[in-house]
A and B are shown apart, each in its own frame.
Chain A
Amino acid sequence: MTPAIDTLEAAIAWHVRLRDGDEGDWLAFTTWLEEDADHSRAFDQVSATDRLLPAVLDGRSPAVLPVAVNDDHPPAPLGRRLRWSGPLAAVAAGLAIIVGTTTWWAAQPQFYAVESPPGEHRTVTMPDGSTALLSGGTRLVFDRNNPRFAELAGGEALFTVRHDSSRPFSLAAGGHIVRDVGTAFNLLLDADRFSIEVLHGAVLLDPERGPVRLGAGQTLAAENGRPSLIGRKNPSTMAGWKRGVLSYSEVKVERVARDLSRHLGVQVVAGADVAEVPFTGSIHLDPAAGATVRAFSATLGTQARQDGQKWVIGRAIRASR
């Protein structure tokens, strides 16, 4: 299906040569095409890419998307490309660069963090009556100078926002901006996942760069390095953690373990034999962490054991991590 690399390279060489080429180049190009039907396909691919270049090169392209906390490649300078306007611009631009770390915020006295320890929920009521219900191991950063702005630095929270069209509420998370349009939504952010569930109302994702509107019953999940998935879900089943239920659709056990650690307040680790296994199903959070981990392990057809302070699912502990 995809032409071989050397075919692509040849197609690129032709493409570059032909723009300023003469008749002889075009005839030689025709001969090259006649050698193999793949050559024409490769050339199509190069042409299609070429057509998109003006949009990318003239600086109108949107900013870099989901930035993982542990991303080894720092995003390119964003200021030039970001079009965010208004008083939030400086704050938001800073956010996009420092995603996931707290050092920058800590240096700014106007920003303060509210955290919930793993295994505990916490409710924050904002000055306008909007609320954020934090699940375990969640960190929210607020701006004293702007009560209609917050950052989810990590974890998962359910936001119920009082709508004010003259001052919309903006939530930054993982390089995204979620703007409410009068709404309740659940937002999860961890090292490589960003997911929104809209319980009612609607949100605009990244209003300043190709906004995506999500209405009640819609979900969006972005995994590092993969295209985002949009889905539908019954709002009454959203933010399940609030009712002690976590549900998954083909999520790696390693990630489920990470969530369990956050919700149960004990470290849960996936062994190498199960870490990459996709899990689909629901987990009922039992106040007794061990019971939850054991029940989950049983559904995977494996066992759990306690190793000092932590729980290990499966047989072996991963070598690194």
Chain B
Amino acid sequence: MSSINPSAGSDRSGLFGIFIECRPALLRLLAARQAAPDEAEDILQELFLKLRSDGMVPVAEPRAYLFRAVENLLIDRRRSSSRRTLREDAWTGLQAGSGLGTDDAPSIEQTLIAREELAAVTRAITALPDRTVHALRRYRIDGASQREIAQEMGISLSAVEKHLQKAYKALVEIRSAIDADLSAPRRQISDRES
């Protein structure tokens, strides 16, 4: 049933051509990202299918686009096999306000940990200078480029980079601390009275 839309054919063949050309470099990136060889092949296959089925997006930097796409696919896979997935799904659950009051809610503990983690990250953000948070928001939420942010804030590109790095550092650190805490042996509070 599905077929390649002929009207977009030439653009696509252009991007396909670049894809074939970049294949070795993409495989090298995947290997460097510690993907197993068959996983890497799967990811490239997935990207190939995506390129074929997605509406064509004008790409200023087609090669950078392919690298980024490969990285995103890898992250998605890694996420679905990660120990943290449940916890992060619990984050999403919190956001949606779901799971209210059901007896068999997936896990109270997951919800709690997610909530505390979210609160910790929120605290870490509120502890950052306003201008740093502004730069982060423009960059990450609004998708503004660093050059745009530099112009808006009247600062240099490297100053924008510093703001962003500072924000990420604070957040990565708080999450590592939480992970370290969680991987320490945990006890259940059980029947304590003899």
The 8 A CB mask of A36-56 against B (1 = contact, 0 = none) is 010011011111111111111
- A23: chain B residues at CB < 8 Å are 61, 63-64, 67
Smallest beta-carbon distance A77→chain B, Å: 8
Binds A, one of B2-10, B41-49, B180-188: B180-188
Quick check: B61 and A8 within 8 Å, CB to CB? Answer: no
Smallest beta-carbon distance B142→chain A, Å: 10
Residue among B61, B82, B108 with the most chain A CB within 10 A?
Answer: B108
Smallest beta-carbon distance A16→chain B, Å: 5
Partner of A8, one of B82, B97, B103, B172: B172
Q: Is the interface of B mostly helix, strand, loop or mixed?
A: helix
Partner of B188, one of A25, A43, A210, A229: A229
Chain B residues within 8 Å of chain A by Cβ, number: 79
- Cα–Cα, bound, A5→B20 (Å): 37
Smallest beta-carbon distance B181→chain A, Å: 7
Cβ-based interface call for B53 (8 A): no
Cβ-based interface call for B36 (8 A): no
Quick check: B33 and A232 within 8 Å, CB to CB? Answer: no
What bracket does the count of chain A residues touching chain B fall in? 35 or more
Q: Please, which residue of chain A has its CB at the minimum distance from the CB of B178? A: A227
- A46: chain B residues at CB < 8 Å are 168, 172
Cβ-based interface call for A130 (8 A): no
Cβ-based interface call for B152 (8 A): no
Given known A27-B25, A76-B126, contact A2–B176 (CB-CB < 8 A):
yes
Cβ-based interface call for B40 (8 A): no
Quick check: B101 and A30 within 8 Å, CB to CB? Answer: no
Smallest beta-carbon distance A248→chain B, Å: 7
- B194: chain A residues at CB < 8 Å are 247, 281-282
Q: Please, which residue of chain B has its CB at the minimum distance from the CB of A11? A: B172
Quick check: B168 and A12 within 8 Å, CB to CB? Answer: yes
- A247: chain B residues at CB < 8 Å are 192-194
Given known A23-B67, A30-B32, A52-B91, contact A233–B118 (CB-CB < 8 A):
no
- B91: chain A residues at CB < 8 Å are 52, 55
The 8 A CB mask of B14-45 against A (1 = contact, 0 = none) is 00000000000100110011100000000000
Smallest beta-carbon distance B121→chain A, Å: 5
- A56: chain B residues at CB < 8 Å are 118, 121-122, 125
Seen from chain A, the residues whose Cβ lies within 8 Å of a Cβ on chain B are 2, 8-9, 12-13, 15-23, 25-27, 29-30, 33-34, 37, 40-41, 43-58, 60-65, 73, 76, 81, 181, 202, 204, 207, 209-215, 218-221, 226-234, 237, 240, 245, 247-250, 280-282
Q: List 29 A-B contacts (CB under 8 A).
A: A2-B179, A12-B165, A16-B165, A19-B68, A23-B63, A25-B64, A48-B175, A51-B79, A51-B88, A56-B118, A56-B125, A60-B95, A62-B115, A62-B118, A63-B119, A64-B119, A76-B123, A204-B100, A210-B115, A212-B112, A213-B108, A220-B112, A221-B189, A227-B116, A231-B188, A234-B191, A237-B191, A247-B194, A249-B192
